[in-house]
Structure 1
Amino acid sequence: MSTRKDSLDSDPVIESRDQLVAPMQAGEKPRSDWRIGTEHEKLVYKKDDKHAPSYEEEGGIRDLLLQLQQFGWEPVEEGGKVIAMSGPDGAISLEPAGQLELSGAPLENLHQTCAETGRHLDQVKQIGEECGVGYLGLGMWPDKTREELPIMPKGRYGIMRKHMPKVGSLGLDMMLRTCTIQVNLDYSSEADMAMKFRVGLALQPLATALFANSPFTEGKPNGFLSFRSHIWSDTDPQRTGMLPFVFDEDFGYERYVDYMLDVPMYFVFRDGQYIDAAGQSFRDFLKGELPALPGEKPRESDWWDHLSTAFPEVRLKSFLEMRGADGGPWSRICALPAFWVGLLYDQSSLDAAWDLVKDWTMEEREALRNAVPKLALDAPLPGGGTLRDIAGPVLEIARKGLSSRNMLNASGDNETGFLETLSEIVESGKVPAQRLLDKYHGEWNGDVSRIYKYSF
């Protein structure tokens, strides 16, 4: 998450509800302009003793960021500290405990997306050799306690860390111990957004299952296949979940604005500082009655900031964010955008995916989402069977969608190859976490530290 800078002179005051809807409306694009934005996070560790490096230590997170300048990345500072890097491949930023995130540039096809991911991993691995660090592609730290993890110098994270324990028992774990892969996608209209949002929410449990990759906590199996997904169930109920109103016939931008107005605030950014407004109401802010800034009304940038502080399974800003997947290695970083682009960027595939899930009740959707963190593909499916039963058909829909796009690389290959790692998971019957557990109970002989041999 990059740093925002004040520009109050050019930042309009919000005077009407139309300005709240504007970011979503601004996201509408013709199909020819649809792009793919992929984000992924990695756990960073020191190779000598496997500790998570602090910001300040030699060869630590700050040095890691600054070394990226040799590849053309430029520092972004907050309070005089480098907390992100900006470059042609997007932004590299810090999560709360030093997880390293690439927020990729909006790209036209999956070949470009996977090439971007490859460039980034090559760069950070080269710098890792210089700084003595390695990287893990997992959904959660397999062996670290909260107390063993460093804290990064970003103002918004300090406010969130203070607030999280007041609203859930696992919010600090979400901040400090987890990693995800996410893809950001476009829409052409309000109706197109609504359809993609519904399909994305309904099938998010399948993505969670296929990418489940967080079975260990503090060195032992935690009883889950995606503990990262389970963490969201006890982080903050006012800003997480499946959003039942999205499946209502009248769902659109206005309904999402209403939802966001009911999500409590975290902060306001002024004069280069984050002001604590945790638990306060954006509705009060609109009336000039925010306790943190009495008498002041919000600017448009305050609304943009607020839109980034809700964490549902799918999130709307000026694009849709698919947020259900655990972190993983290179092949799965490329596979997640392939999964969702195949389903959502071809109309026939989008319609076919909706036909699979449209008759599920909200109670059934919630039950599936709640079962997946433990059971993954064995989670009970509405109407009988398990999630495994639709995994193959959904991948086939995605494959047809990618084939229809006919986006070819220099060798004449289309984008369907990026789904192969998911097809192998379905055919084997074992998600990534189950393979890790097999190793833990087998060749690792109960020693989770062996997982570091499988780093990027």
Structure 2
Amino acid sequence: MTNTITTDLGEGHPIDAADAELTSANDAAQLIGESCLTDGPVGRVGLEIEAHCFDLAAPERRPAWDQISSVIADVGVLPGASLITVEPGGAVELSGPPADDVVSAITAMAGDRAVLRSAFAEAGLGLVLLGADPLRPAKRINPGDRYRAMEQFFEASQTGAAGAAMMTSTASVQVNLEAGPEAGWAARLRLAHALGPTLVAIAANSPLLGGKFTGWRSSRQWVWSQLDSARCGPVLGVDGEDPAGEWARYALKAPVMLVHPTPEMDAVPVTDWVPFADWADGSVLLGDRRPTVADLDYHLTTLFPPVRPRRFLEIRYLDSVPDADWPALVFTLATLLDDPGAAEIAAEACEPLATAWDRAAQTGLGDRRLRDAAIRCVAAAAERAPAALQESMARLMRSVEQGRAPADGFSDRVVRNGIATAVTELAQGVQ
């Protein structure tokens, strides 16, 4: 769960094993399969929320790395213990520790969001919850070697524009859930994937990118769809009966993005298409050597499917949405996966739409079938909502019944006031 597992293989493999050389792709597959899911009860929830950082006086300007870092340095420990990090384009992310249940996770994250918003406002900056930056061109400000090397990789793979937009202009709400009992892994992973298009349509909140309407309600999902499916596409195959095995096969087929020639050296891009399996088998040597367990672990951090197994399930397909919306969205997703009755309803409603990712991102709830599925899913969650979330759930239910996602409200605001004003209003907390 968030912040309790620092690496994919770390708990199952001692640190002194990290330098061990892999002898074959089968060796790598076994390590991945043994480590990717943890058998246990459902219930705990971790949240990660990204927000674009804007200068309140000049929203067209991207605040500098040092300016953002200075604000964060003065924040101190947040009441809910979320960690604060900065994405390549300056988006600020809160990563909360795992909570015992979804309501506790929501409450803690909302408190941390309030403290962070106040700190940035005092510095003349605003944090905007949108799935994509509607105003500024893609630009990296994070000086980390990982992100510099990722830029070079995307350029070499002919996806430079999409890669830059993904890294520096998109933001999400990520929900981390336990993998659950081993006997239910296949059904649980299938449902997590099948829910994707319907939840993408509900959460769509990025109708603009880089100063223009894109024609997509979720431009964030559109950007991700332009990257190679070997790294960013869904993991599960046709039947999804062996999620651990399918994740191992996915990871081994995916091309190596970055390597560290030595542990002390910065990451460097791999500009040729080298599946990790070829490196592990010795068909190709990178840095004149075979990979180590540490290299495999790092490779897994460069894979970005919509649902990523990291002992827990990292659900990555939601746009960042406003503070009035994300609590209900998070509760809906967690309930549909963790409550058996709600999961049964969700599976029936969403599995026929399980591959409609592009339709969901472009048309959203304007598609009748997606809207009908969304109504059934949100209604199932709303019936199970505690008193503290009933108002938020009722708001989400009304929006879904009307076929409106957050993108529609933001589009209306842009048409009415212009992009810069719309962004500034959101940065100032104007509803």
TM over 0.5: yes
Query: Does the CA-based 8 Å contact 2:279-2:286 persist in structure 1?
Result: no
Q: Residue 382 of structure 1 aligns with which residue?
A: none
**Paired residue for 2:154, among 164, 179, 191?**
164
Q: Which consecutive unaligned segments of at least 5 residues does structure 1 have?
A: 74-86, 380-384
Q: Residue 94 of structure 1 aligns with which residue?
A: 86
Question: In structure 2, what residue type is equivalent to 1:43?
Answer: H
Q: Offset at 1:288?
A: 5.2
Q: Residue 31 of structure 2 aligns with which residue?
A: 19
Q: Residues 369, 243 of structure 1: CA spacing in aligned structure 2 closer, same or farther, 3 A cutoff?
A: same
Query: Does the CA-based 8 Å contact 2:53-2:125 persist in structure 1?
Result: yes
Q: Offset at 1:322?
A: 1.8
SS of structure 2 residue aligned to 1:239: helix
Alpha-carbon distance in structure 1 between the residues aligned to 2:152 and 2:256: 13
**Paired residue for 1:317, among 310, 313, 332?**
310
Q: Offset at 1:130?
A: 3.4
Alpha-carbon distance in structure 2 between the residues aligned to 1:424 and 1:454: 22
Q: Offset at 1:393?
A: 1.1
Question: In structure 2, what residue type is equivalent to 1:257?
Answer: A
How do 1:250-329 and structure 2 match up within 5 A? 250-269=241-260, 270-271=263-264, 273-277=266-270, 279-287=273-281, 291-299=285-293, 301-329=294-322
**Paired residue for 1:388, among 371, 393, 400?**
371
**Paired residue for 2:170, among 178, 185, 195?**
178
Q: Offset at 1:230?
A: 0.8
SS of structure 2 residue aligned to 1:311: coil
Q: Offset at 1:241?
A: 2.4
**Paired residue for 2:398, among 424, 429, 440?**
424
Q: Residue 226 of structure 1 aligns with which residue?
A: 218
Q: Residues 185, 439 of structure 1: CA spacing in aligned structure 2 closer, same or farther, 3 A cutoff?
A: same
- Calculate the aligned-residue CA RMSD, in Å: 2.8
Alpha-carbon distance in structure 2 between the residues aligned to 1:132 and 1:342: 38
Query: Does the CA-based 8 Å contact 1:24-1:253 persist in structure 2?
Result: yes
Query: Does the CA-based 8 Å contact 1:338-1:416 persist in structure 2?
Result: no
Q: Offset at 1:124?
A: 1.5
Taking every aligned residue pair, what percent have the same amino acid on both sides? 24
Q: Residue 67 of structure 1 aligns with which residue?
A: 74
Q: Residues 303, 189 of structure 1: CA spacing in aligned structure 2 closer, same or farther, 3 A cutoff?
A: farther
Q: Residues 285, 421 of structure 1: CA spacing in aligned structure 2 closer, same or farther, 3 A cutoff?
A: farther
Instruction: Check if 1:373 corresponds to 2:361.
Output: yes
Q: Residue 152 of structure 1 aligns with which residue?
A: 142
1:42-83 deviation digits (Å, cap 9, x = unpaired): 000122212211113xxx122122112xx327xxxxxxxxxx
Instruction: Check if 1:127 corresponds to 2:132.
Output: no
Q: Residue 29 of structure 1 aligns with which residue?
A: 40
Q: Offset at 1:377?
A: 0.7
Of 268-277 and 38-47, the range deviating more from structure 2: 268-277
Question: In structure 1, what residue type is equivalent to 2:313?
Answer: L
Alpha-carbon distance in structure 2 between the residues aligned to 1:24 and 1:189: 13
Q: TM-score, normalised by structure 1?
A: 0.82
Alpha-carbon distance in structure 2 between the residues aligned to 1:345 and 1:414: 19
Q: Residues 335, 167 of structure 1: CA spacing in aligned structure 2 closer, same or farther, 3 A cutoff?
A: farther
Alpha-carbon distance in structure 2 between the residues aligned to 1:164 and 1:237: 13
Q: Offset at 1:155?
A: 1.6
SS of structure 2 residue aligned to 1:197: helix
Question: In structure 2, what residue type is equivalent to 1:188?
Answer: G
Alpha-carbon distance in structure 2 between the residues aligned to 1:241 and 1:349: 26
Query: Does the CA-based 8 Å contact 1:342-1:399 persist in structure 2?
Result: no
Of 16-25 and 285-294, the range deviating more from structure 2: 285-294
Alpha-carbon distance in structure 2 between the residues aligned to 1:21 and 1:292: 24
SS of structure 2 residue aligned to 1:38: strand
Alpha-carbon distance in structure 1 between the residues aligned to 2:30 and 2:362: 42
Alpha-carbon distance in structure 2 between the residues aligned to 1:288 and 1:395: 50
1:166-206 deviation digits (Å, cap 9, x = unpaired): 24241211111111111011122344222122112222111
More relative contact order in 1 or in 2 (CA 8 Å, sep 6+)?
A: 2
Q: TM-score, normalised by structure 2?
A: 0.86
Alpha-carbon distance in structure 2 between the residues aligned to 1:204 and 1:249: 15
Instruction: Check if 1:332 corresponds to 2:325.
Output: yes
Query: Does the CA-based 8 Å contact 1:185-1:319 persist in structure 2?
Result: yes
Alpha-carbon distance in structure 1 between the residues aligned to 2:289 and 2:211: 51
Q: Offset at 1:290?
A: 5.4
Q: Which consecutive unaligned segments of at least 5 residues does structure 2 have?
A: none
Instruction: Check if 1:142 corresponds to 2:134.
Output: yes
